[in-house]
Amino acid sequence: MTGEERSVAIVTGASSGIGRATAHAFAAAGYGVMAAGRDAARLAQATDGLAGVRHFTGDLSDAQVCRDIVSETEAVFGRLDVLVNNAGIIHRATAEETSDDQWRQTMAINLDAVFYLSRAAIPALRRQGGGSIVNIASDWGLRAGARAAAYCASKGAVVLLSKAMALDHAGEGIRINAICPGDVNTPMLTAEALQRGIDPAIVIAETAADSPNGRVTEPEEVAAFALFLASDAAPAITGAALPIDGAASA
């Protein structure tokens, strides 16, 4: 894909982890990439040296900001073909322990941003005759986990939002899927361990030992799957919630 034929993707949460890996994967595949994040310096560092990448900073839990990133992407690249909703946070707490602010923040980033940005992107995808939305959910959107009430609720909602939108737009050639990773070796896994007062190295080792395949998933594996789902190689895959968890949910 070169020149005018180059497809274009928005990738949110591109400063680290799965989002960073996804921005790199799409850029390597020849896409123009609008990499979104809250911190301009971290975003620039995460995508340093990548060809065809532009940056957008803003709070994607704001509906107007979501409209702005779609407009800017079309203005810069002339089109939009793929949206990868990846930005997310986790608070490890039971419902009783979760504060109002933690609940609202989790829903705003993990769910509202997915809804607002998907809603803004769909007309742009329609203008190209179709496209793909890939939502990074979680295996805890398919099955619950302890002490993660708000996170599980938000990711479960992302799974069903993805399915509902897929039904609404399948006839327009807009494919919408959710990827549901298990534990991935990212800064979020580290932050989650620190929230629990546990050494991150111990968490990674225990996670690998508990996984049926004996290892922790790397962010590049999730990114490669997002690239596949967005590609012409997956024309019949829409409305799916697909785990990448080493058989943990099996």
Catalytic residue numbers read 151
> By CB neighbour count within 10 A (0-12 exposed, 13-18 middle, 19+ buried), where does 96 fall?
exposed
Edge-first strand order for the sheet with 32-37 is 53-57, 32-37, 8-11, 82-85, 131-136, 174-181, 241-244
Provide the b/e sequence for 65-93 (b: ≥16 CB within 10 Å): bbeebbebbbeebebbbbbbbbbbbbbbb
* 133 token code pair: 């939305």
